[in-house]
Amino acid sequence: MKKRNGGALSREEIYSTVHGFVRGEIPDYQMAALLMAIYFRGMEPREVSDLTMAMVDSGERVDLSSVPGVKVDKHSTGGVGDKTTLVLAPLVAAAGIPVAKMSGRGLGHTGGTLDKLESIPGFRVGLSPQEFLDNVRRIGLAVVGQTGRLVPADGKLYALRDVTATVDSLPLIASSIMSKKIAGGAQAIVLDVKTGSGAFMKSFADSLSLAQVMVSIGERVGRGTRAVISDMDQPLGRAVGNALEVKEAIATLTGEGPADLTELCLTLGSQMVSLAGLAADPNQARSQLEELLATGKAFQKLEEMVTAQGGQPQALRNLSLLPAAKRTKPFQAARGGYVQSLDALMVGRAAMALGAGRATKESPIDLAVGVILEKKVGEAIEKGDVLAQVHYNSEAQVEEAFTFLTEAFRIGAERPPARPLIQAIVTAEGVEKLGVG
Ligand code: URA
């Protein structure tokens, strides 16, 4: 009733409600009513940070105190072709940041880091807590799946939000994301908040608000936090699909990746390295990271991680050892002009139709299939040019993928205005706008 009437909940009220709900003492119908009241009334910054910490305290935390160095974690709100972690984790680990990363699986049109990593033959994402810590201490890097023991409140609350139309509430999204990072042991956090058709937040204004709420939570609970707002109107890079994305990540770590993916990794990495205090500012950090790419040290860190997690490191140099689809089919332009837009959501659906993504948590996925975008927004094309190569294993799925790709590519006579990849950087000090918005 207090929240329904627009009041602010005390810390004690938030803690007792969240913990009572997790223990099963507060029934779903009452929590559902509270979630709806929060949806309409919102929360003050103090309430959101209390909610975040109440969620963190609902379960275990990863104890990284035995790992020397400042533990900076990164989170992406998710997108299509977003293989950033595969590049960024070894890159910043090579720069001296201990990376103890918990990642997720793909669901719906967005892919998941764990699935991508599992396309490396032998790679294990299910390390024991001891192995996880040992690897971080020994080589500075490990990427594993999240255990159910961290933030049980989030799983329970999310399931209820999902069926009560209360997922898209800023305080609820922000506390859900930040609680998992904090429980994972992060001392500082860099957020990649996506914006555009393939993103959770479609408009710049909504993405900015989410970024600001999360930065505010982090700062209030003593975790230096910065957010980068990056474009997800078209997919990131050119590869969409698990093994295809691993190949693109390897190319990026050896200095031959697509410009947008490279730029995003350098931007996020510079923020992480400067937050960790390993460089005076993001510009100096960027030079360090460029050097680590150029000298192959970042790539070597990926090799070390793959070896330490049971994967075949040879597969990183001999890409024919990675899963490959049986056939490819070109998707061609029906007319000439310029690519006006390339809807990330539709490309994600095309990849899903091929079997690269899962519709439900239990669906199996095909690691080999996906789409390589030969043309992206702003590129000139002629009728018949190959816009995308579809990598597939089953003839029946190609037609559906082509239907989505037809919707994804919008071709027009004029070259469209450039849409910047990095649109804003949000820090405790304020917002630096770098593009549209
Ligand atoms: N991602 C999360 O982890 N939580 C949300 O509530 C929404 C997106």
Q: Tell how far the Cα of 422 is from the centroid of ligand 1, in angstroms.
A: 22
106 pLDDT band, cuts 50/70/90, is confident
For residues 156 and 203, membership in a common domain is answered with yes
Q: What is the pLDDT of residues 343-380, one digit of tens each?
A: 999 999 999 999 998 878 788 899 999 999 999 999 99
For residues 171 and 263, membership in a common domain is answered with yes
Say if strands 370-373 and 386-392 run parallel, antiparallel, or are unpaired: antiparallel
What pLDDT, on the 0 to 100 scale, is given for residue 436? 61
Alpha carbon distance 300, 305 (integer Å): 9
Structure tokens at 179: 């609680």
Q: Return the SS3 of 340.
A: strand
Q: What is the pLDDT of residues 265-317, one digit of tens each?
A: 999 999 999 999 999 999 999 999 999 999 999 999 999 999 999 999 999 99
Residue 2 lies in a domain: no
Q: What is the pLDDT of residues 89-99, one digit of tens each?
A: 999 999 999 99
Residue where the block lists tokens 């519709």: 359
For residues 120 and 149, membership in a common domain is answered with yes
What percentage of the chain has pLDDT greater than the value 90?
93
What percentage of the chain has pLDDT greater than the value 70?
100
176 is catalytic: yes
What are the Cα distances from residue 338, in Å, to 205, 268, 420?
28, 30, 17
For residues 369 and 285, membership in a common domain is answered with no
What pLDDT, on the 0 to 100 scale, is given for residue 360? 81
180 is catalytic: yes
For residues 31 and 129, membership in a common domain is answered with no
For residues 151 and 183, membership in a common domain is answered with yes
Q: State which residues form the domain around 39.
A: 11-56
- CA dihedral for 290, 291, 296, 301, sign (positive or negative): negative
Closest by CA position to 309, among listed 149, 101, 94:
101
Q: Tell how far the Cα of 149 is from the centroid of ligand 1, in angstroms.
A: 17
75 is catalytic: yes
Number of domains in the chain: 3
- First-to-final CA distance of the chain: 37
For residues 238 and 212, membership in a common domain is answered with yes
Residue 227 lies in a domain: yes
For residues 331 and 299, membership in a common domain is answered with no
Residue 184 lies in a domain: yes
Q: Identify the CATH number of the domain in which residue 93 sits.
A: 3.40.1030.10
For residues 313 and 328, membership in a common domain is answered with no
Q: Is the CB of residue 49 less than 8 Å from the CB of residue 219? A: no
For residues 343 and 399, membership in a common domain is answered with yes
What pLDDT, on the 0 to 100 scale, is given for residue 93? 98
Task: State the average pLDDT over residues 203-214.
Answer: 97
Instruction: Using the atom order of ligand 1, give the atom closest to the CA of residue 200.
Output: 8
Whether the predicted pLDDT of 175 surpasses 70: yes
Residue 351 lies in a domain: yes
Q: Which residues of 297-310 are buried (b: 16+ CB within 10 A; e: fewer)?
A: bbbbbbbbbbebbe
Question: Pocket around ligand 1: residues whose beta carbon is below 6 Å from it?
Answer: 158, 172-173, 176-177, 200
What are the Cα distances from residue 422, in Å, to 22, 210, 276, 415?
39, 16, 21, 20
Q: Identify the CATH number of the domain in which residue 347 sits.
A: 3.90.1170.30
What pLDDT, on the 0 to 100 scale, is given for residue 437? 52
Q: Return the SS3 of 169.
A: coil
Cβ within 8 Å of residue 207, ≥6 positions away: 193, 194, 195, 199, 201, 229, 423
Strands (E), 216-324: 224-231, 239-240
Nearest CA to ligand 1 atom 3: 177
Q: What is the pLDDT of residues 13-63, one digit of tens each?
A: 999 999 999 999 999 999 999 999 999 999 999 999 999 999 999 999 999
pTM of the model: 0.96
Residue 3 lies in a domain: no
Instruction: Using the atom order of ligand 1, give the atom closest to the CA of residue 161.
Output: 6
Residue 281 lies in a domain: yes
Nearest CA to ligand 1 atom 6: 173
Q: Tell how far the Cα of 339 is from the centroid of ligand 1, in angstroms.
A: 32
Structure tokens at 305: 């991680």
Which residue in 3, 74, 180, 247 is the catalytic one?
180
What pLDDT, on the 0 to 100 scale, is given for residue 223? 97
For residues 138 and 228, membership in a common domain is answered with yes
Q: Tell how far the Cα of 177 is from the centroid of ligand 1, in angstroms.
A: 5
For residues 94 and 243, membership in a common domain is answered with yes
Q: Which residues of 103-123 are buried (b: 16+ CB within 10 A; e: fewer)?
A: bebbeebbbbbbbbbbbbeeb
Which residue in 50, 82, 115, 154 is the catalytic one?
154
Phi-psi region of 170 (alpha: psi -120 to 50; beta: other; left: phi over 0): alpha
Q: What is the pLDDT of residues 414-430, one digit of tens each?
A: 999 988 999 999 999 99
Q: What is the pLDDT of residues 109-162, one digit of tens each?
A: 777 999 999 999 999 999 999 999 999 999 999 999 987 789 999 999 999 999
Residue 361 lies in a domain: yes
Whether the predicted pLDDT of 330 surpasses 70: yes
200 pLDDT band, cuts 50/70/90, is confident
Residue 201 lies in a domain: yes
